[in-house]
Structure 1
Amino acid sequence: MQAKRQSSDTWLDPVSKSRITCHNITWIRSAAFQCIQAGGDIYFDQIPRTGTMPHAHDFIEILFINTGGLTHRVNGERQHLTAGDLCFLRPDDVHALAPAPAFDQAEVLLLDADLDLLLALSAYLGNDAFLHRMTASVLPACFKLDPAATTALYERLLKLNSPTITAQTRGIKIKVLLGELYARFFADDANLLMESQVPDWLETLCAAMRKRENFAAGLPRMKKLACCTQGHLCKVFQKHLHKTPTAYINELRINHAAWMLADTPMPILDIAGELNFQSLSRFYTLFRKAYGVSPAAYRRLHAARRHA
């Protein structure tokens, strides 16, 4: 049976091009689905333990678990979500909710938004890398928030859902929130490693490689710490970070070089040598690609700012 497809035309608010709903779910043994709307877009749902019907949308959806837990059936696989989990669904992901063994209830908030809002964000940032990262894997990306961040996001979503806010104001604030969430979780490698599908060993490896003595030692040190073949290492890096191990190491080196250029008097040639770049010309090429100026120009800019 083909999954039902929700349309933004009939589901989203036409002014804000978005919608926030809060669902207090109780799993029941009866076959009858019951829903009580408590005001606004707050619902108390009694759902058979067989789960909801599979469906997709033509808009994006952020699924947020505030309390409890559930099983997220998505694209033929299962994700086990608990309090603090944040799942970024793409248009046409086919998904449904089902009970988890340890939980009879769950409080779920859904932030739905027109895909055009993300495309506009991409144009504003001048970078669509986060869109590629969001859509790269078969399963939608999921991240775990700590308790304080969970409470903060929950309260923020409820305030955005208040009937006292105009649709225009709600639309603006939702755009700001979407920008924060997508930039936080998809623009920064460190946050990408929080994604629940990332192997624990990769997160541990990257944390170790962020130490100066390790990224300066380069790929041989990474292979030693990883305890796996270079082929497997490359495959995992491409899958989860969308770059090669060498590119990851060079980014760490270049960022550290920028700090040394700005805050130390060490000669540029010595910086390149200390961080084990293949040659000075290679260092210049990578630095200009990352910062848009040469190492020497970068140092002059920071020196001028200090004396301004």
Structure 2
Amino acid sequence: MPKNAPPVPVLNRKDHFPVPWDTYLVDRRTTRKPWAFFEHTHKGFCEFLYPVSGLITNTINGIAVNQKPGDLILIREQDTHHLKGSNFTYFNINFDLADLLEFCSSLKIDPYSNVRLRSILVGTNVCHYKVTDEQHINLTHSLNALFEHQQTPLGNMMFQKFLLSIMVDFIIAPTKQSVASNNAPLWLNDLLNHIADNIDLNLVVNDLPEICDRTHEHISRVFKKHLSCTPSQYLNNLRLEKAARLLVHSNQPILDIAYTVGFNNLNYFYKLFSDKYLLTPMKYRKKNTHIT
């Protein structure tokens, strides 16, 4: 973004939608004329976008994707995107990422132990999933049903079924043809599992080559390719996630929490935490203490 460019508009869940919603909200849009939606980002919600006919150009984080039937895209809160197209019908499924994480928890799935789920949470790559012809028929049927029954108990149950099918078919255990990105190498999965098991030991980036027998340069390239972040960013994100949990579920002083999770520089901890959560550690604790 140019230095003096205006800030990207933020669509806030609290005031963007014409009606309040809890579990999900589906928009089905059909147009025969040229149509466009301005560049924006989200606050308080994510969205799946899926065209059932025609073509839409969806530009996400500067990357233009020509979406057509068979192209399912997830837009996260941290993504910036804008759309344009004509002669199409598409569905827009708005939901809270916290519901997806809660759903993972109910299934005993750790989202940080799955490469694709982890890339959704901490990555910047485009979340683009390929849908087979058979899956397209089922997905279109599900989206029409979600649209017809939204804001009802039946619709909420159908949305849980929808999330399960999305996770099974495209995120947790997809076929090689069903995901746009390449599979991560086995050693990366082993390394990530080791990091998750030993993050409390204050691992640093310089420890990684010895753990996985790869060079710094090779590790950095593979992290960037599959996780869309550097090893340092990945480690810091895990530390920040742990700090957030400790802020909510413990009475430890913030200084102690920063040192506990591996930050020796308190100012650096405050900066990274505020950048990630848009709140200082103190304000985050006050806002979320009731979720114990």
The answer as to whether partners of 2:47 and 2:94 remain within 8 angstroms in 1 is yes
The answer as to whether partners of 2:29 and 2:90 remain within 8 angstroms in 1 is yes
Sort the Cα spacing of 1:80 and 1:15 in 2 relative to 1 into closer, same or farther, 3 A.
Answer: closer
Find the partner of 1:141 among 127, 133, 158. Answer: 127
- 3-state SS of 2:37 partner: coil
Find the partner of 1:5 among 10, 13, 21. Answer: 10
- TM-score (ref. length: structure 2): 0.55
CA distance in 2, matches of 1:173, 1:142: 23
Extract unaligned runs of 5+ from structure 2: 1-5, 187-214, 228-292
CA distance in 2, matches of 1:237, 1:183: 25
Q: Which residue of 1 aligns with 2:81?
A: 95
Q: Aligned runs of 1:149-168 on 2, under 5 Å?
A: 149-163=135-149, 167-168=152-153
The answer as to whether partners of 2:130 and 2:178 remain within 8 angstroms in 1 is yes
- 3-state SS of 2:145 partner: helix
Residue 176 (1) aligns with residue 182 (2): no
Q: Aligned runs of 1:55-204 on 2, under 5 Å?
A: 55-57=40-42, 58-99=44-85, 104-126=86-108, 127-129=110-112, 130=114, 131-163=117-149, 167-188=152-173, 190=175, 194-198=178-182
Sort the Cα spacing of 1:27 and 1:233 in 2 relative to 1 into closer, same or farther, 3 A.
Answer: farther
- 3-state SS of 2:77 partner: coil
Residue 25 (1) aligns with residue 25 (2): no
Sort the Cα spacing of 1:186 and 1:170 in 2 relative to 1 into closer, same or farther, 3 A.
Answer: same
Q: Using the TM superposition, give the Cα deviation of residue 74 of structure 1 relative to its aligned residue in structure 2, in angstroms.
A: 1.3
CA distance in 1, matches of 2:59, 2:50: 15
The answer as to whether partners of 1:117 and 1:175 remain within 8 angstroms in 2 is no
The answer as to whether partners of 2:25 and 2:95 remain within 8 angstroms in 1 is yes
Q: Using the TM superposition, give the Cα deviation of residue 158 of structure 1 relative to its aligned residue in structure 2, in angstroms.
A: 0.8
The answer as to whether partners of 1:6 and 1:55 remain within 8 angstroms in 2 is yes
Q: Which deviations, in whole Å up to 9, do the C-alpha atoms of 1:46-80 show, x marking residues without a partner?
A: x2xxx321112131100111111121111122112
CA distance in 1, matches of 2:153, 2:21: 6
What RMSD in Å do the two structures reach over aligned CA positions? 3.2
Higher mean displacement: 61-70 or 114-123: 114-123
Return the index of the structure with the highest Cα Rg. 1
Q: Which deviations, in whole Å up to 9, do the C-alpha atoms of 1:192-217 show, x marking residues without a partner?
A: x633244xxx79x99xxxxxxxxxxx
Q: Which deviations, in whole Å up to 9, do the C-alpha atoms of 1:17-55 show, x marking residues without a partner?
A: 210111113343xxxxxxxxxxxxxxxxxx2xxx32111
Over the matched positions of the two proteins, sequence identity in percent amounts to: 16
Q: Which deviations, in whole Å up to 9, do the C-alpha atoms of 1:172-198 show, x marking residues without a partner?
A: 22122113212432222645x633244
Extract unaligned runs of 5+ from structure 1: 29-46, 207-229, 243-308
Q: Aligned runs of 1:275-286 on 2, under 5 Å?
A: none
